[in-house]
Chain A
Amino acid sequence: MSRVAIVGVGQTRYSRESGRSEWQLAVEAISNALTDCGIDPGDVDGLVRYSYDNVDEAMIVRSFGLKLRYYSQTGFGGLGAPATLAHAYAAVASGQARVVVCYRSLNGRSTTRYGRAERSLGTGGGDLIATGDRAPSGAFAGPYGMLSPGQVMAMWARRYQWEAGLTEDELAAAMGRIAVDQRAYARANPDAVMGGRPLDQAGYLAGRVIATPLRIFDLALETDGAAALVVTDAAVGPRPAVWIRSAIQGLIPYAESIATYGELRNGPTYRSLGSRLLQDADVKPADLVSASIYDATSVSVLLGLEGYGIYPVNGAARAVIEHGIGPESPLPVNTSGGHLSEAYVHGMNLVIEAVRQVRGESMNQIPRSGPVLVASGPSGLVLAP
């Protein structure tokens, strides 16, 4: 097995209004990640970023005086979040690069509000509606008011309820438990935007309904902030190395938009990708110590728990109602508070939390050593000490 490790992590403060450019935020996060592992910018020879990022490679190269041998991008936003590390893993394992920095920077609240429709709507011809087949916002979705990710994921949630044979109250109990448990993690995390705001099940149920069956607490935050990670071929620096055991960057029909023409994210193709990821790491679901599961909405966590084989298909809701996703649960999930309660850095803060768990440095450290899953739909990583 190739030896490729995440050796450095860095981030900015997470806020609703950074007052700084995305470029400044990216530079700060990358600088912090390099400091974390004691690597000099002169040794960085690879960069991976999101195609969605407004801070391009040249801006980073200029800022740090980098001399790159390798750079690449992952597409489709959060779908590719763990895949930035997959690119770094491949580049280092193949010798194309030795030290690769992955980053994501966004003013996701103060500049482009990530939960809103305008992000995906076209502006041609004075009308807002986008062309083509996307959902949300395409010509076959927008006319019906399916304009934002939350509105489409509400469709997933209702369908999941039906397929799993849940009452509306049971679905709310499961999604509420995710929101409440992630908020409890955020309470112990000084970086968490919502750390000062306790939430219990009654508070969850009293939350404003956004699009049934989703309430305000089911939806990811919108955040200004940046996060970065450093990947190389050896244990470098003062922190414990976090080895990448397997990686997958999947794409299947209708995964890239969140359209509803294809499988739910617990469907057979997703499960097959998830099982392949764990198999490549020689890990069974029961071996996992914790997980970061992309939570654009709370229902994504239920679907991810099934897609990666933690619980049987249509079994996650009842398991979560019974056990939750807290520190005592069979698999603690999103232990920083996740996108629902820590910050929305488009998946990168979830990768950082997984690294912290493997290092033993989380603010909500799970006191066992072993592999940690990072999952975002069809893309994922297994990290291990």
Chain B
Amino acid sequence: MARADVPTIDSASAPYWEAAREGRLMIASCGACSKVHHYPRPFCPHCWSEDVHPVEATGSGTLYTYSIVYVNDLAPFKDRLPYVAAIVALDEGPRLMTTIEGADPGDLQVGMPVTAAFRPVDGDDPDSPYLTVFTPIKEHA
């Protein structure tokens, strides 16, 4: 049965996905204008230079927005309802779509600090791509 969560990886995005397997979050940086962007693409969206290369992000950011999804009948999401879909704004600037793990969905707050973690899309597949997910940074009491 087809899964709706397996990304299609192309040459521009391969470094991002390969780094995720190694526990690193890559964004793209431009050698011409030194601005960063995400998602990876073959040229800089700010100056159109093709001198773009992956750079490691700190993995820290804030929760830009999120939704707790209660309805989805596509595999594998139908077996994990409700799940959290989220967007994180990285400290470096770019936003990325993700999920938040390690938190009660009821405790999520827009603006809360989060940090990246990595896990396989399909835990049963040794060749599975790895996803960048985020977890809240516990603030000391």
Chain A residues in the interface with B (C-beta under 8 A): 117, 121-122, 124-133, 135, 139-148, 151, 154-159, 161-162, 208-214, 253, 260-261
Contacts and interface: CB of A to CB of B under 8 A. Distances in A.
A142 B83 CA distance: 13
B48 interface: no
25 contacts: A132-B10, A133-B39, A139-B10, A140-B96, A141-B97, A143-B7, A143-B121, A145-B5, A145-B77, A145-B85, A145-B99, A148-B72, A151-B72, A155-B65, A155-B87, A157-B67, A159-B87, A210-B71, A211-B67, A211-B71, A212-B70, A213-B67, A260-B64, A260-B87, A261-B94
Q: Which of B4, B86, B97, B121 has the largest count of A CB atoms less than 10 A from its CB?
A: B97
A151 B84 CA distance: 10
Nearest to B97: A141
A117 B85 contact: no
Contact of B72 (A147, A214, A253): A147
Nearest to A125: B8
Interface residues on B, range: 35 or more
A162 B111 contact: yes
The 10 closest A-B pairs by CB, nearest first: A154-B67, A159-B65, A139-B7, A162-B110, A131-B8, A212-B68, A128-B4, A211-B69, A158-B65, A211-B67
A151 B70 CA distance: 10
B71 A155 contact: no
B11 to A, nearest CB: 12
Given A143-B131, A145-B83, A146-B85, 5 more contacts: A128-B74, A132-B10, A145-B99, A209-B70, A260-B65
B95 interface: yes
Contact of B99 (A135, A144, A148, A162): A144
B1 to A, nearest CB: 10
B21 interface: no
Contact of B67 (A130, A139, A142, A155): A155
Nearest to B8: A131
Q: Which of A121, A209, A211 has the largest count of B CB atoms less than 10 A from its CB?
A: A211
B131 A151 contact: no
B76 to A, nearest CB: 9
B129 to A, nearest CB: 8
Given A131-B8, A159-B64, A208 B71 contact: yes
B33 interface: no
A250 to B, nearest CB: 19
B135 interface: no
Q: Which of A127, A131, A135, A145 has the largest count of B CB atoms less than 10 A from its CB?
A: A145
Contacts of A129: 3-8
Contacts of A210: 69-71
Contacts of A253: 45
B39 to A, nearest CB: 5
Given A128-B2, A159-B65, A142 B71 contact: no
Contacts of B83: 145
B103 interface: no
Contacts of A260: 64-65, 87, 95, 97
B9 interface: yes
B69 to A, nearest CB: 4
A320 B31 CA distance: 48
A213 B70 CA distance: 11
B35 interface: no
A161 B110 CA distance: 9
A131 B11 CA distance: 12
A117 B69 CA distance: 14
Interface in B71-91: 71-72, 74, 77, 83, 85-87
B6 A127 contact: yes
B119 to A, nearest CB: 11
A209 B72 CA distance: 12
Interface in B94-130: 94-99, 110-111, 121, 129
